[in-house]
Structure 1
């Protein structure tokens, strides 16, 4: 008969753990947090040491009653929520509600949900760590103080329903500042000269470097003319050939932020999707009769690249068997530690490297498999030997004008056999050059001067945003996903072509916050507050003191803002369309997924519709409608007939306004990652390059 109750957060986790613990244990789920600050009021007594007023979260009454009834029937209760601040706070709230003796070791923590890890964890229960609890409380109260003081002012001065948050406001400010940089950017002209040379029948792509050993930049067409004049009719002579052997090390195993960034780059996952799927992999997936439900990865909220010796040895064994001794590390690789890292948990890794993606793919959904494969390959590669590249740099002289060609090739793949880290600009290794000797004369195939203009900094993608927030110490990895979701839901930023742009509303709100609460938008101040929370967790700082230091000045600013902030009227941009439901003018609005049309009669009329973008092509199916650009629910662009639903023509590829010269069927632009854009026929095998 069961005599011990174990409480975790989720039913999936409860099911997986229950299988390992056996019949003497009852495992139940709290379904996340059970108590929180009330939504209807501040819920913090600022005059009495910021004492929080916790209430039962709506809908959790029956859950708590069931846990209390179960606790009465057993001799012992263990609290096994996730091993972080949030998990510690959940355990503390449960202990308080259930009336458990806090002097007893009630808390059980584990970094992975596997049989050995669970059994070992239950051998070593500990007391609830109040430093962790207080760090979570301080963050929650701090955010409440900011949000519930600034938001009502914004409701009065701008519009109801607005909010301002400590981290979200800084995130919007980053996006807004980047947009200003782009708008104020003044392009500068520059030129390049590319020369295609021939050595033993093989092409070499060389670029203008300068005069002799001096690097020279070309700013105008006159500069280019001077170069061409100097090298006219002069032979291309190889002056210097430099060969080097270069080692390339693998990326470290994932931490929360790097997983979010790489999943955005390689899998096109939104941050929230990455964390949801990672949670599923952590809590347990049924992988068949051999193992049943098992946690496939370690805890996914971590800022440490540290790995256990057991994991390293298991990886070494697998690499030796699969790839051979040359791919095995001679000694463990020491990963650089981020100075801001709490280092509470291991890196994100598979709980068993022998559980390969291919072996368990039939038990995973498509997205679960893709994310698991990413984590598995990244971990394995981090434990493999370095890659060795042969690099070559060639300086070529033509009448005192220097051209330079560079290239590389893989001499030994090492970790690259398994995984190569992605990047934001999509650049790849250059190709290797053919054999070249000093003094060799090369033939010229062509020379091509090109005019360019410097480009403004790019808008933030999710991956770039995450990286910037991490580098600046804004928030913590576990807060990134909800922060980016919130600023879109509030209408402060929108996604256009997978890049963040600030809305007019976002710019108004941030401008007001910046004027009256400058410290909230100060990156250094925000990073300092995060360090303060970390110090609370480490037991080095009193949480009440951290809040008091912030609130004393902040409260004075609230009073000034209430008196001096002026009301702002949001501009309405009218369109030339009328609402088909009520006849009012349709106006442009900017939501989380970009611009759309909405009825100006809102809230009496709530009609909305997408902005139609015609591409100048007649529908090939009904021959009367026009093809328009549309967006799917996942914001993927496709093309359809404007007579829908009468005509159901759709195409993922962009139709063009001329028929196939071979069969007169529709031509479309086909985008391929490596080949670029081609024009193909939808019926026959006709194909041409897009720029022909």
Structure 2
């Protein structure tokens, strides 16, 4: 008998093991701490009080029944701390030691392929109690923090709030960034571009130096002075430097980089990325081969790749692209210092299963994520891209302008994959020292320094990982929690703290500053890693933490003041009970709710009207949000009028060709497009600042 977590994984493994084995699913954890109480006996050395999870009694009973019939029982949960803990709980519940297996019941594999499964079952091992203890320590730490701080917040601020060892640090980061943005004072600066010509070829050069120092132009007065100085000056090539630049591919994905890249390229949330990656790992039904695990285990922070997979990638590159695209030997990437190296990087289990070959057998989102993982892995073993670059310094009086050009000489790995948008050639004319150039125009431009950007999911994940806070596998639920509790909301893909989030953080900073300190949280992760390595005792780690934490809880219970959170009342009347509705914060931003909740559960979305007429019924276009939080724009006469558009309509701007309203497109390089599908008119966004 083999026990795994999910039915999908059970089906795939069953196919490889054959009829002698019965593969059952535990549906995740079956035993855990109770939800109704803390479930930890602190006085008895942090002894956990485990119970069968509510609703899992039948699952456990079925497993016990099947276990009695089995000659041997193997526990094949995921190869990480959680999987080890699931296996440990099952071993005790099913009394596996009595089966005469010498305790060797744990089977571990990094990918669900025939070879990996067969090999794993040849060498079962005992439960790794260091891994179990690391999981117990993390679980109890989180329980101590959550179950002792949260009730204080319920009493002093509002019912239903929560605090967490890692989630509160994430909220802190978002709030601190918002405070930086509020305090930011923009500073004016200017740039100057010379539009030059040689042999009928136009190109740009930017002002680089003034009297041998870096060019700094703080205001219009200085710009006028520079323009005056340049009046009538010759532009002469002083120096030309040509180089060859190489760009190396990125390593294959780890959990955090997969979450970041899937967000940037596919617009997937961290949770969606992990859910789809789990499906690809557990097995997809392919017509010719049946159930196949397409990727290796998805929770990893190691860039290590097996020699077998490296050879498979090499063969694919040589056969599909040619020897010039393979760098001569396989690349082995160095991971970060504290990486847990037990698992490989996230890669395809079989590079021969190319995304396009199995596209028709995958759901669209599965295909897109598999393609991203497959391309990143194969590209990681390809040759560098090579660029010819040229840099020219052009003298005008005592000023130096610099022109840069580049040309792709060899695509290398970029033929398959690039993190950035496709690099374009920027060609300069053949410039030679002492060439005299024609000045076509001088283009001064005013700028203002920008505040630091708000966090997106990708940048928050990146920062949490860089700071060593939490584990990449926990980032998705953390991001979900801080939104569902109303601490932060998403605006234009960016995290913005709510008033509630800032108030809660203020209290946590006053009474639990150590618990939500980034450095302290990172050090705690290091200690959990030492427990996993058998270098620290898990109860010693808990005891050391709890000594100071207990005092902080006692002070907070006594001294934290009760806070009255005023609800923002609106003039919108609840159509079910007639009361004025109030503004609430939810996972996808603000919404209207009845103040009489839970007696009246009526809610409405907050509608923002735009000064744009509906082209189908002369109603007004309003901003709405889908159930998944995506913004769209529709007619206020819905459901009578179902006109909808996904891109933001521009107020007071109509198409010069058909008079339909224009919409805003593009993220970085914005442009306008006609909303009429039969009209192809587009135009660039007007410059927001210019010299006058």
Report the TM-score range of the alignment, normalised by the length of the smaller protein.
Answer: over 0.9
Q: Does 1:507 align with 2:526?
A: no
Tell me the equivalent position of 1:178.
Answer: 177
CA distance in 1, matches of 2:306, 2:401: 50
Residues 653 and 668 of structure 1 are in contact (CA less than 8 Å); yes or no, is this contact kept in structure 2?
no
Tell me the equivalent position of 1:248.
Answer: 247
CA distance in 2, matches of 1:40, 1:133: 23
Q: Does 1:476 align with 2:475?
A: no
Residues 314 and 330 of structure 2 are in contact (CA less than 8 Å); yes or no, is this contact kept in structure 1?
no
Tell me the equivalent position of 2:8.
Answer: 12
Tell me the equivalent position of 1:104.
Answer: 103
**CA 1:288 to 1:691, structure 2 compared with 1: closer, same or farther past 3 Å?**
closer
Tell me the equivalent position of 1:329.
Answer: 327
Tell me the equivalent position of 1:576.
Answer: 571
Tell me the equivalent position of 2:557.
Answer: 562
Within 5 Å, which residues of 2 pair with 1:294-443? 294-422=292-420, 431-443=426-438
Tell me the equivalent position of 1:589.
Answer: 584
**CA 1:42 to 1:349, structure 2 compared with 1: closer, same or farther past 3 Å?**
same
Tell me the equivalent position of 1:629.
Answer: 623
Within 5 Å, which residues of 2 pair with 1:617-656? 617-623=612-618, 625-655=619-649
- Runs ≥4 residues deviating over 6 A: none
Tell me the equivalent position of 1:279.
Answer: 278
CA distance in 2, matches of 1:402, 1:72: 84
Shift in Å at residue 59 of structure 1?
1.1
- The 3-state SS of whatever aligns with 1:567 is coil
Shift in Å at residue 654 of structure 1?
4.1
Tell me the equivalent position of 1:81.
Answer: 77
* Among 72, 86, 90, the residue aligned to 2:86: 90
* Among 16, 23, 29, the residue aligned to 2:25: 29
Q: Deviations over 1:213-235 (max 9, x none)?
A: 32121101111112111111111
Instruction: Judge which range, 654-663 or 271-280, deviates more.
Output: 654-663
Residues 669 and 690 of structure 1 are in contact (CA less than 8 Å); yes or no, is this contact kept in structure 2?
no
Shift in Å at residue 100 of structure 1?
1.1
Shift in Å at residue 500 of structure 1?
0.6
**CA 1:145 to 1:684, structure 2 compared with 1: closer, same or farther past 3 Å?**
closer
Within 5 Å, which residues of 2 pair with 1:183-222? 183-222=182-221
TM-score, scaled to structure 2:
0.96
CA distance in 1, matches of 2:560, 2:236: 70
Tell me the equivalent position of 1:126.
Answer: 125
* Among 51, 61, 67, the residue aligned to 2:47: 51
CA distance in 2, matches of 1:143, 1:14: 30
- The 3-state SS of whatever aligns with 1:163 is coil
Q: Deviations over 1:69-99 (max 9, x none)?
A: 1111111000000000000000000001001
Residues 177 and 452 of structure 2 are in contact (CA less than 8 Å); yes or no, is this contact kept in structure 1?
yes
Within 5 Å, which residues of 2 pair with 1:483-502? 483-502=478-497
CA distance in 2, matches of 1:635, 1:236: 54
Superposition CA RMSD, Å: 1.7
**CA 1:661 to 1:250, structure 2 compared with 1: closer, same or farther past 3 Å?**
closer
Q: Does 1:161 align with 2:160?
A: yes
Tell me the equivalent position of 2:256.
Answer: 257
Shift in Å at residue 655 of structure 1?
4.3
Residues 189 and 219 of structure 1 are in contact (CA less than 8 Å); yes or no, is this contact kept in structure 2?
yes
Residue ranges of structure 1 left out of the alignment (5+ in a row): none
Instruction: Judge which range, 200-209 or 479-488, deviates more.
Output: 200-209
TM-score, scaled to structure 1:
0.96
Q: Deviations over 1:27-75 (max 9, x none)?
A: 1110111111001111000011110000111111111111111111111
